[in-house]
Amino acid sequence: MKNNKEKKYPQGYLITVVVISLIVGGITGGVAGFLTSSIFPSSFTNWLTNPLGITKIINPTESNQNINQQLSGGQAVIMEEENLTTQAVQKVTPAVVSIIVTKELQQYYNFSGPGFPFGDIFSFPFDFNFKAPQQPIPGPKEKTEVGGGTGFIINSDGLILTNKHVVSDTEAEYSVILTDGSRYDASVVGRDPFNDIAFLKIEADNLPVIELGDSDKIEIGQTVIAIGYALGEYSNSVTKGIVSGMGRDIVAGGGGQSEELQGVIQTDAAINPGNSGGPLINLQGQVIGINTAVNQQGQLIGFAIPINSAKTLIASVIENGKIVRPFLGVRYAMLNEQIAEENQIAVDYGALLARGSTASELAVMPGSPADIAGLEENDIILELNGVKLNADNPLSKEIAKYQPGDVITLKIWHDGKEKAVNVELAEFEE
């Protein structure tokens, strides 16, 4: 989860099973019941009918039919959701891993302060005009755990999906801890240049695999569960909430890096430091999002990348052993009514090709597929293969559906007129 440098290790999980109890009692017989309720207070009536205070416990393993017969409608729904929650967590947790970031750091001794290697057992009682060195003295280098995150297994041969910001340090070493406590060295297979997604690989086989859901079918208000190494201390912690919003565009940052994320899922399931890269799942135990960021100024405002955004990359890594990204070669800003009105633009949707803040950040990269096809700065890409581009369907999302070598048709607004342009996508090279 961005906005925080995190660590997480899986060692188990806690599941709270709520057992619902009912007090079953009552006095049989019409007359006796009437007299009792009229003459004696309700507390005394309860004592007469249940002198030992025994509460009937419903066995959680009873059939749903029996539960529904003994519970009111609302309570039955609660019990059913609790059962689905525990089943989903039990299904997914074996495929959730902790990622440990280790780096060789220079150790220092500070002879003028608490870093002095002998502690403070020595002192200088006599004035010899001795001056201890003020600068720390280098000591040996040691491997130190400097961060971590969460990931989940998507292939039984050890392919793991996580956030790019979890494994962004190219000089660090990475290892993975499974739920059974076993630890493996991990290598970074690829970091997605356009999204906060990355892949690790460990040398193992017959591993449990998480089931991928369909994030396009998510509905606001549906129950979701986040699993991760919360605060770098509590492995496979489980939090539960709902989908609070869809299609959010945010700028997430932490540890000196930031990234714009488009079309992410908002949830009130608690996403804590250390949850980055963990799965956001539905009650069927399917991953629908990748926990990525949290708004630290609010409460329970977390964000996850929709899993459908990663499916093309997953297929690419499994097939090619690396991330293969299609490349168009443009810089753009998505238009809406407000932006169009403020800038007196004739259309209020599409991707406006615009340069960045520096001279090198051109709207159209020289030699790119867009350049070869004749696209220019201030052109607006209205549609891609018939799909209208807007906040729900940004250009990056639509481009990601294709492979290098695919030919796409763009509808362009150019100098006040619409025109169609065919473009052959290239492969992105880092």
Catalytic, out of 244, 276, 316, 368: 276
Do both 261 and 350 map to the same domain? Answer: no
Do both 319 and 332 map to the same domain? Answer: no
Q: How confident is the model at residue 232 (pLDDT cuts 50, 70, 90)?
A: low
The answer to whether 379 is a known catalytic residue is no
Do both 261 and 168 map to the same domain? Answer: yes
End-to-end alpha-carbon separation of the chain, Å?
Answer: 24
Amino acid at 294: V
Range of the domain at 304: 1-16+74-323
The answer to whether 165 is a known catalytic residue is yes
Catalytic, out of 98, 165, 192, 215: 165
Percent of the chain surpassing pLDDT 90: 48
* Residue 257 or residue 415, greater confidence: 415
| Domain boundary, last residue among 323, 338, 363 | 323
pLDDT of residue 375: 96
Do both 257 and 295 map to the same domain? Answer: yes
Residue appearing with tokens 């999302």:
397
Q: How confident is the model at residue 262 (pLDDT cuts 50, 70, 90)?
A: confident
Percent of the chain surpassing pLDDT 70: 70
Do both 399 and 381 map to the same domain? Answer: yes
Residue appearing with tokens 């491997």:
143
Do both 267 and 130 map to the same domain? Answer: yes
Do both 263 and 302 map to the same domain? Answer: yes
Picking from 193, 185, 203, 144, the residue whose alpha carbon sits closest to that of residue 164 is: 193
Q: How confident is the model at residue 112 (pLDDT cuts 50, 70, 90)?
A: very low
Do both 301 and 342 map to the same domain? Answer: no
Residue 63 in any domain: the answer is no
The answer to whether 196 is a known catalytic residue is yes
pLDDT of residue 229: 73
| Domain boundary, last residue among 294, 323, 352 | 323
Residue 346 in any domain: the answer is yes
Amino acid at 64: N
CATH of residue 364's domain is: 2.30.42.10
Do both 416 and 308 map to the same domain? Answer: no
| Domain boundary, last residue among 302, 323, 344 | 323
Catalytic, out of 98, 192, 196, 244: 196
Picking from 160, 163, 157, 192, the residue whose alpha carbon sits closest to that of residue 176 is: 160
CATH of residue 138's domain is: 2.40.10.120
pLDDT of residue 247: 85
DSSP character at residue 2: B
pLDDT of residue 371: 96
Q: How many domains does the chain have?
A: 2
Q: How confident is the model at residue 77 (pLDDT cuts 50, 70, 90)?
A: low
Question: Tell me: the pLDDT tens digits for 323-343?
Answer: 988 999 999 999 989 989 998
Residue 144 in any domain: the answer is yes
Residue 111 in any domain: the answer is yes
Answer yes or no: are the C-beta atoms of 263 and 38 closer than 8 Å. no
Tokens of residue 180, six digits: 């059974």
Question: Tell me: the pLDDT tens digits for 11-60?
Answer: 433 333 233 233 334 433 333 333 333 333 444 444 444 444 433 334 44
Q: Is the dihedral of CA 25, 31, 34, 36 positive or negative?
A: negative
